Amino acid sequence: MSGQAWLVFAGFWVLFVTSPGPNAVNCIQNGMTHGFWRSLWGVLAILTQSLLFLFLSALGITALLTAAPAGFLAAKIAGAAVLIWLGIRGWRRAGQPLGHVAAAPGSIYLRAFAVATINPKSVAGYLAAFSQFVDPGVPIPEQMGVIVPTALSITAMSYAGYTALGAALGRAALSAVADRRVRSGLAACFVFYGLALAATIFA
């Protein structure tokens, strides 16, 4: 990959992982609830999913998934249901004091991995990356040696930043009303993303 091609890919990936979506909302919510360091388990889960999808895209698996209408439709329905469920659960817990909400690292990791995996933006992004930036005339392993560390580094910085934002909100001296509104707003975002995904099923 040439220097110019790398800059274009890096720019695309920055836009891809910094645009607000379910992963960003989940990181902010984790940071508010569990603090920065504990919530990095969620960032690790997103990096795991990114690495998995990068290699699946390199193997052409994600292209096969989108080419199978029934399977892709089922994935969309499941994804929409999970996002809406996470939103409703978050809304119901919005009034619960943060100090009384605890989760094991494994729970934070698995939830973040699930949110990242069911996110249709992920499949679209990885397909775009490999259809636009991978040169078929150059061996894939050679290109992956540049694409993978670039994508993972940018992804880590982006979602660690969202997690830090959530942790800062959690540490801020928010009133009970303001705290509930912020957390209710984050929960509403999950419902919105779920409904938006559901809408694409009938489009």
What pLDDT is recorded for position 60?
66
User: Measuring CA to CA, how many Å separate 180 from each of 15, 92, 157?
Assistant: 30, 10, 28
Which residues neighbour 158 within 8 Å (Cβ) at sequence distance 6 or greater?
14, 17, 18
Amino acid identity for residue 153 in this structure: S
Does residue 67 sit in helix, strand or coil?
A: coil
Burial class for 144, CB neighbours closer than 10 Å (0-12, 13-18, 19+): middle
pLDDT of residue 149: 93
pLDDT at residue 22, as a whole number: 85
* Straight-line distance from the first to the last Cα atom of the chain, in angstroms, rounded to the nearest whole number: 37
Query: Is the pTM here over 0.85, yes or no?
Result: no
Rounded Cα distance between 45 and 32, Å, is: 18
- pLDDT, residue 84, reads 75
Give me 74's structure tokens. Answer: 């089922």
Q: Give the per-residue pLDDT at 186.
A: 66
Quote the pLDDT of residue 190.
64
- Residue 180 CB coordination number (10 Å): 15
Half-sphere exposure of residue 104: CA atoms within 13 angstroms, side-chain side: 3
Per-state percent for the chain, helix, strand, coil, to nearest 5: 85, 0, 15
Domain residue ranges of the chain, discontinuous segments joined by +: 22-201
Per residue of the chain (203 residues), give pLDDT as tens. Answer: 677 778 888 888 887 788 778 888 899 989 988 889 999 999 999 999 999 888 877 776 545 555 556 655 665 676 567 667 767 776 776 666 555 456 788 999 999 998 888 776 666 667 666 666 667 677 777 878 888 899 999 999 999 999 999 999 877 755 555 556 766 776 777 677 667 657 756 66
What is the pLDDT, as a whole number, of residue 194?
Answer: 67
CA dihedral 98→104→109→111, nearest 10 degrees, is -60
Q: Which two tokens stand for residue 116?
A: 């990242």
